């Protein structure tokens, strides 16, 4: 092992670059898939929590809805109020004891991060739904839409634009927080780095490399999400269509062509 700091880093990269690459790949796969599933959980929980409870409805339906909302509320508060490392230990070692099901590394890791992300996304989705003007919901119900149809076709497409930054934020958090999965033996970037550092007692050098890798992953995802967000905003300049093209054409049918062109030029100014 070389003596200098930079020489040690070069030595570690030359000999263990493939291990770092595999660890980073596992980290990204878990983070991306879990964020996607977490968003689905968050949308489902957010939709259910936003269902209005009408006093005129049947008492059984109201009790059932309140019970479901209480359970979902408890899920959100518990997983937002406890560390993911504790949740990892509880789920990984608790499920075999309670249900007799032994989880392998991949299912356990995906379930842990997805459920944790879903709890945070549920509150984000609920806030996004509440940010949409109530007139949108009233208009949808006025034309006969159900609550589910209103959410899927009217509210959520608008709310999605508002919560995209938070989705990106959760992805970046998950990239970093996958390191807690090392407590259940998940061989991601942090776990891999511990093994490399322990082989030569080069903790400072090894984790310097890992820190740079984490930064590259999070920075790249942040830039890509910003590009996606900008595309959803549309073009910075656009032409506002204020008249119907067919009506405009028919209305000017009897006017000479040169006057029509002059009128169009004035409108463009």
Say what the pLDDT of residue 52 is: 77
Say what the pLDDT of residue 138 is: 83
Say what the pLDDT of residue 249 is: 46
Q: pTM value?
A: 0.79
Report the 3 state secondary structure along the chain.
CCCCHHHHHHHHHHHHHHHHHHHHHHHHHHHHHHHHHHHHHHHHHHHHHCCCCCCCCCHHHHHHHHHHHHHHHHHHHHHHCCCHHHHHHHHHHHHHHHHCCCCCHHHHHHHHHHHHHHHHHHHHHHHHHHCCCHHHHHHHHHCCCCHHHHHHHHHHHHHHHHHHHHHHHHHHHHHHHHHHHHHHCCCCHHHHHHHHHHHHCCHHHHHHHHHHHHHHHHHHHHHHHHHHHHHHHCCCCCCCCCCCHHHHHHHCCCCCHHHHHHHHHHHHC
Task: Give the residues of the chain that fall short of pLDDT 50.
Answer: 244, 246-255, 260
Say what the pLDDT of residue 15 is: 92
What are the tens digits of pLDDT across the range 148-198?
Answer: 788 888 888 888 888 888 888 999 999 999 999 999 988 899 999 999 998
């Amino acid at each position: 092992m070389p003596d200098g700091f930079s020489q040690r880093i070069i030595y570690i990269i030359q000999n263990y670059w493939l291990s770092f690459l595999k660890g980073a790949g596992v980290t990204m796969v878990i983070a991306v898939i879990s964020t996607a599933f977490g968003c689905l959980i968050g949308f489902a929980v957010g939709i259910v929590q936003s269902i209005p409870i009408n006093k005129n409805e049947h008492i059984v339906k109201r009790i059932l809805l309140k019970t479901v909302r209480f359970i979902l509320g408890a899920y959100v508060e518990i997983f937002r109020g406890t560390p993911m490392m504790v949740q990892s230990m509880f789920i990984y070692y608790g499920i075999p004891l309670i249900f007799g099901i032994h989880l392998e590394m991949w299912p356990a890791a995906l379930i842990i991060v997805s459920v944790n992300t879903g709890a945070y996304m549920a509150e984000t989705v609920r806030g996004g739904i509440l940010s949409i003007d109530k007139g949108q919901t009233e208009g949808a119900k006025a034309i006969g839409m159900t609550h589910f149809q209103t959410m899927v076709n009217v509210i959520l497409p608008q709310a999605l634009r508002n919560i995209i930054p938070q989705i990106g934020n959760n992805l970046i958090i998950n990239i970093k927080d996958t390191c807690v999965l090392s407590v259940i033996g998940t061989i991601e970037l942090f776990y891999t780095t511990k093994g490399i550092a322990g082989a030569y007692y080069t903790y400072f050098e090894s984790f310097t490399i890992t820190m740079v890798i984490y930064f590259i992953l999070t920075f790249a995802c942040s830039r890509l999400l910003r590009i996606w967000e900008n595309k959803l905003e549309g073009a910075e300049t656009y032409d506002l269509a204020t008249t119907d093209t067919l009506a405009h054409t028919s209305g000017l049918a009897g006017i000479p062509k040169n006057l029509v062109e002059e009128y169009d030029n004035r409108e463009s100014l």
